[in-house]
Structure 1
Amino acid sequence: MYEKEYVRGSILDRNGNTIAFSQKPGGTRTYSHPYAFSNLVGYWSKIYGTYGVEKTMNDVLVHSDCGNRDQEKRGADVTLTIDAALQEQAYKDIKKYKGSVVVMNAKTGELLALASSPTFNVTEIEEKWKEINEKEGVFFSNAYQNPVAPGSVFKLITSKEIIEAGIEKEEVEDTGSLKVNGQTIRNYGGKAYGSIAYREGFVKSSNVYFMNRALKLGGLRLYKTGRSFLLGEDISLDFATLHSNFDLKDYEDNIVATTAFGQGETLVTPLQMAMITQSIANDGEMLKPYLFKSVVNSKGKITQEGKTEKLVKTMDADTAEEIKEVMKEAGESYGLSEVGEQGYSIAAKTGTAERGDGTNNAWLVTFAPADDPQYIIVANRLKTTEIGKTLAPVVEDLYDTLFDHE
């Protein structure tokens, strides 16, 4: 009934740019970014219904409950926290491979980009429905709906455990491999780093170091540390529910050891890794990401407004500061470029998770400026032979845009 009487409300980006709009009741929906937003904003179709933001916010888009007696009845307009130009740029940076990019404001929790590939042309949803559905993963955002093995970016979590236990200065002899329950587990590339403590173990991403420390402290402590970042919990956001897997079985040594460097049974989305990184950048306070900036009815009244909300305290500020410092050092060791006109440095951690089929999940989690974090960028590439460091150009490109436009 409402669709026959009301012009469907528009979806806008944070700067007021139109992403989706209609011109008449039940009329064709027009999308200004047909690929970059398709698995986030989704679609409205007379034949196939709604998906994405179009579905989540359908009730307010389809009509505006404000007693409007004007000749043209309009649904409410929904404004996202997303920057459309940044979203488009992020999509172009990753569209050639399977993966995603998350950009978040470190101080507020606003989501500035949630780009995923593969995707589809939303303007062809009705004429090419069968063809689109034959493509694997196009209706499933890799940014927030697809938990995968994190690899060494999980060392951010194990780092908290090590620092809080006060053992970060103890040295471990890294011979390149560690035998656990009869299983030989190696560093990436089989490299041996000799006698190392936490800082060098993090920067060089020694699996042996992190396995040794996790086994010393025990599986229960690692489990509690992971849970402090909400791993294994369903996290309800204003547009989706995040899922992850975090299971240390019966704390068997081989599971504890491999979990410590992000293999094991752990699966996590890039958005949740962005939240974990944000909590470190924000002195231990994890903020709740949000996508909806405001809802405005046809009379111009704001009926819903997004706000910054603290989700959980993951660690104290001193622990966060230690991890920030080693991430800054790691970023320098990766050769990440300085970004923006001010030449800000990027704090970072790479990850390369083996999938068991000869391919990897490549990860790069970052924040910048390293000395005063304003933004979080997390990028991943799935089913690749590349390593996490190869995502550096994507991250540097987006930071340059963020800082040059401030």
Structure 2
Amino acid sequence: MNTPIRRLGVVISVMFLSLLISTTWVQFVSAGSLNAQPTNSRTLYKEYGADRGPIKVDGQAVAESKQVKDEYKYLRTYPGGALYAPVTGFYSITYGTTGLEATENSLLSGTADQLFYRRLSDLLTGREPSGATVELTLNAKAQKAAWNALGNRKGAVVALDPKTGAVLAMVSRPSYDPDRLASHDGAAVKKARTSLLEDSSDPLINRAIGGDLYAPGSTFKLVVAAAALENGYSVDSQLDGPASLDLPQTTKNLSNDEPGNCGPGDKVSLADALKISCNTAFAKLGMDLGASTVRGEAEKFGFGQKLSVPLAVTPSSFPAELNEPQLAQSSIGQYDVRVTPLQVAMISAAIANDGVLMRPNLISKVLTSDAKVVEQPSPERLNQVFSSSVANDLTSMMELVVQSGTGTRAQISGVDVAGKTGTAQHPGQSPDAWFTSFAPANDPEVAVAVVVENGGGLGDAAYGGTLAAPIAKQVMEAVMDR
């Protein structure tokens, strides 16, 4: 009789032990992976039911959470709309996070290590937990001016504070309405995202820092000019500037945008070559300097470097292997040279800041919900690109561009502006129009880069000086309160 009872006891003990092990495994060992399951509705409700901190520009929320009467409690909304969407990104229960919503997620959600004591205080006092406020460096007036000036044309605008690296404007068009992706209506969100993905104009791409990068056109001549000034040339050095440059190793020649040579006797000074944007002079100069010298100068400006602002920036590039004709084309910003508008703004910013390139940054400070500072990034030097004397020479040359060269439409009454135009050619397409500048030239407050894709509707008549320069002017005026 005792034997069957003992056997039953063993079976029951094994069952209890199995139950204990299984529950322990679920509650402790597998808890993390189970919580991370995208289908775990309880986790979703917990995450999206939190009071997420706002993203602000000049004290006004461009992204914020509002209480709603559904299972998620809070809905992410975007008062900044399409104007700020490429920067803020979106926060979606269906597709996750993008933009600053992704890079600053731990701060906005309140889970960052920096907010530990705040979370502990909330727990002890019974306060409702809330995320941190992320304040941006963007200047609302400059952002709006860039958006309006670019209009319905494809392209991007970036403005920087040359002395600190603060991003004052970052506009990419076309853009999108992030509210459509933050909705709690899953079917509507999927439909909106599908529509955006199928849109050939790629509205989800932040053209200012990524996507298919641009050929910089003649704005790259600033890099070649800097290399020349660092290698024995002066603003008065005479360059070869014929109407057509005979390229070695090929039967094709390189010509200027405007027919004819760039100066008497096919000669032109470095300063005048930049002022009138002489292709043949800079192509020949690039070949004389050599590929390694030009590439090295580009790298000092940040080419090839991975940057986080904290949005990830696609590195700009200068080709690794070049023959002489390819080097000539690259020296005028063509062939396989590729840049972001942010990179072009960084070129002007370094010149404006006595040759010192500051690290670009979008975050001004991070605050708790009761306005205590959690983070406040300090300006950070990225590189000493060249000496202040080289910067002064480049500034004087760029001033000539705006005073009497190809960039006169960027002139601002009572303010000295330094700038450079660019018109980047594409086979079978209208050119991209570029302009980069800074102002005031003697004590810069803002450096700008503007690109308008495919001629902005003007076709082959589009030039950087006519199309992009007026946009840059309006952004500079907005920053300077002109």
Alignment TM class, shorter chain as reference: over 0.9
Conservation of the 8 A alpha-carbon contact between 1:242 and 1:272: no
Q: Structure 1 residue 278: deviation in Å? A: 0.6
Compare 234-243 and 108-117 and name the one that shifted more: 234-243
Deviations 1:297-332 (A, max 9, x none): 234332221220000010011111100000001011
SS at match of 2:382: strand
Q: In 2, distance between residues paired with 1:4 and 1:42?
A: 16
Which of 418, 443, 452 is the aligned partner of 1:381? 452
Conservation of the 8 A alpha-carbon contact between 2:438 and 2:476: no
Which of 28, 32, 57 is the aligned partner of 2:79? 32
Which of 256, 270, 292 is the aligned partner of 1:187? 256
Q: In 2, distance between residues paired with 1:221 and 1:228?
A: 11
Q: In 2, distance between residues paired with 1:105 and 1:93?
A: 20
Conservation of the 8 A alpha-carbon contact between 2:100 and 2:310: no
Report the CA distance shift for 1:12/1:254 in structure 2 as closer, same or farther (over 3 A).
Answer: same
Compare 143-152 and 63-72 and name the one that shifted more: 63-72
Which of 293, 313, 336 is the aligned partner of 2:409? 336
Which residue matches 1:12?
56
SS at match of 2:293: helix
Q: Structure 1 residue 143: deviation in Å? A: 0.8
The answer to which structure has the higher helix fraction is: 2
Q: In 2, distance between residues paired with 1:263 and 1:12?
A: 39
Gapped runs of 5+ residues in structure 2? 1-42, 182-188
Q: In 2, distance between residues paired with 1:205 and 1:241?
A: 29
Deviations 1:317-370 (A, max 9, x none): 111110000000101123235437xx2121100000101223211100000002
Q: 2:351 aligned with 1:273, yes or no? A: no
How many pairs are equivalent? Answer: 401
Compare 293-302 and 46-55 and name the one that shifted more: 293-302
Q: 2:156 aligned with 1:100, yes or no? A: yes
Which residue type is aligned with residue 224 of structure 2? T
SS at match of 1:133: helix
Conservation of the 8 A alpha-carbon contact between 1:101 and 1:378: yes
Which residue type is aligned with residue 306 of structure 1? P
Which residue matches 1:129?
193
Q: Structure 1 residue 33: deviation in Å? A: 1.8
Provide the TM-score with structure 2 as the length reference.
0.79
Which of 357, 368, 371 is the aligned partner of 2:442? 371
Compare 66-75 and 109-118 and name the one that shifted more: 66-75
Which residue type is aligned with residue 158 of structure 2? V
Gapped runs of 5+ residues in structure 1? none
Which residue matches 1:203?
275
Which residue type is aligned with residue 130 of structure 1? T
Compare 165-174 and 99-108 and name the one that shifted more: 165-174
Which residue matches 1:176?
243
Report the CA distance shift for 1:150/1:310 in structure 2 as closer, same or farther (over 3 A).
Answer: same
Which residue type is aligned with residue 394 of structure 1? I
Compare 284-293 and 45-54 and name the one that shifted more: 45-54
Conservation of the 8 A alpha-carbon contact between 1:33 and 1:88: no
Which residue type is aligned with residue 339 of structure 1? I
The answer to which structure has the higher strand fraction is: 1
Which residue matches 2:94?
47
Which of 238, 247, 259 is the aligned partner of 2:319? 247
Q: Structure 1 residue 26: deviation in Å? A: 4.6
Q: In 2, distance between residues paired with 1:323 and 1:174?
A: 19
Which residue matches 2:470?
393
Which of 17, 23, 26 is the aligned partner of 2:66? 23
SS at match of 1:73: coil
Report the CA distance shift for 1:79/1:193 in structure 2 as closer, same or farther (over 3 A).
Answer: same
Q: What is the aligned-residue RMSD (CA, Å)?
A: 1.8
Q: In 2, distance between residues paired with 1:248 and 1:387?
A: 29
SS at match of 1:102: strand
Q: 2:394 aligned with 1:323, yes or no? A: yes
Q: Please identify runs of 4+ aligned residues in structure 1 that moved more than 3 A.
A: 336-340
Compare 79-88 and 321-330 and name the one that shifted more: 79-88
Determine which structure has more spread, i.e. the larger CA radius of gyration: 2
Which residue type is aligned with residue 193 of structure 1? C
Report the CA distance shift for 1:3/1:143 in structure 2 as closer, same or farther (over 3 A).
Answer: same
Q: Matched residues, percent identical? A: 28
Q: 2:62 aligned with 1:62, yes or no? A: no
Compare 99-108 and 352-361 and name the one that shifted more: 352-361
Report the CA distance shift for 1:225/1:85 in structure 2 as closer, same or farther (over 3 A).
Answer: closer
Q: 2:388 aligned with 1:310, yes or no? A: no
Q: 2:130 aligned with 1:74, yes or no? A: yes
Which residue type is aligned with residue 121 of structure 1? D
Q: Structure 1 residue 189: deviation in Å? A: 3.2
Q: Structure 1 residue 248: deviation in Å? A: 4.3
Which residue type is aligned with residue 21 of structure 1? E
SS at match of 1:162: helix
Compare 47-56 and 58-67 and name the one that shifted more: 58-67
Which of 140, 144, 153 is the aligned partner of 2:205? 140
Conservation of the 8 A alpha-carbon contact between 1:346 and 1:367: yes
SS at match of 2:360: coil
